[in-house]
Amino acid sequence: MLTEKKLTYVMIQDFKLRCQCFYVEAAKQVYQRFPFRLLQPLKHLKVISPETIFDNEVSSLGPMYANLPILFGDMDINEVDREWRKLPFSHFDSAKIDRNSNIIDFWSYISKLKKGDDTPMFPLMVCLVKNIMALPHSSACVERIFSMVNAIKTKERNRLQTDNLCGLLKTKSMLKASSSECYNYNLNNEFLKKFNQNMYIFKSL
């Protein structure tokens, strides 16, 4: 029919209508199968964006806390909110960060800001952002962790405790993030002081 060009206007319109109906039904089925309404709270995660902060788009973290309390842990929401409201009006070095900065670079800079007494200026906000950044963005992230777990917890090490396993995973991630190896990683004195008997949990016999 195509080669003989016998398609009428009515047939072409009918074909287009069938295609349209197919896409409409496909959209309905996708909507039924995916929890889009449950994903609405994720819109609150935009608070980590430098652009959101510089534009002062979000006045309070209250709505985010109401929808995603697990990200706050045992943090005092009032204290976190106080830091959040202070953030857009703080003085930043424009040579280092601006509204177009990479999220990692931006919060790395924020984490290094100090108050007059040399304590962190935004400790709770930095902790909250770390919790957000730790969320898996795809199944590939989770699969990568399971792959590392399988490589560490072998048949010979199947009695490895969960705490030790988590410690090894964190150590591996830390070395990778710093582009270092176990034999050349720079350990400062403050870090070395933590290697004492408080590392262990002693069980009474």
- Mean per-residue pLDDT over the chain, rounded: 86
CA dist 168 and 201 (Å) reads: 17
User: Torsion angle of alpha carbons 94, 100, 105, 108, nearest 10°?
Assistant: 60
The average pLDDT across 14-19 equals 94
The average pLDDT across 171-188 equals 86
* pLDDT value of residue 129: 92
Q: Is the pLDDT of residue 2 over 90?
A: no
Banded model confidence at residue 194, pLDDT cuts 50, 70, 90? confident
* pLDDT value of residue 123: 94
Q: Is the pLDDT of residue 159 over 80?
A: yes
The DSSP bridge partners found for residue 114 are 120
Cut 0.85: pTM above it:
no
Q: Of 75-89, 98-112, 186-200, where does mean pLDDT reach its minimum?
A: 186-200
Instruction: Mention every residue, 6+ apart, whose C-beta is less than 8 A from residue 58.
Output: 46, 47, 52, 64, 84
CA distances in angstroms from 19 to 23, 25, 35, 90, 184, listed in the order given: 6, 10, 26, 54, 62
Q: Are 48 and 129 in contact (CB under 8 A)?
A: yes
Q: Read off the pLDDT of residues 35-47 as tens digits, 9 standing for 90 and up.
A: 666 667 778 888 8
Which range, 18-22, 63-67, 180-184, 200-204, has the best average confidence (pLDDT)?
18-22
Q: Taking Cα atoms as reference points, which of 63, 34, 32, 31 lies closest to residue 46?
A: 63
Q: Taking Cα atoms as reference points, which of 118, 64, 55, 131 lies closest to residue 87?
A: 55
Q: Is the pLDDT of residue 1 over 60?
A: no
* pLDDT value of residue 35: 65
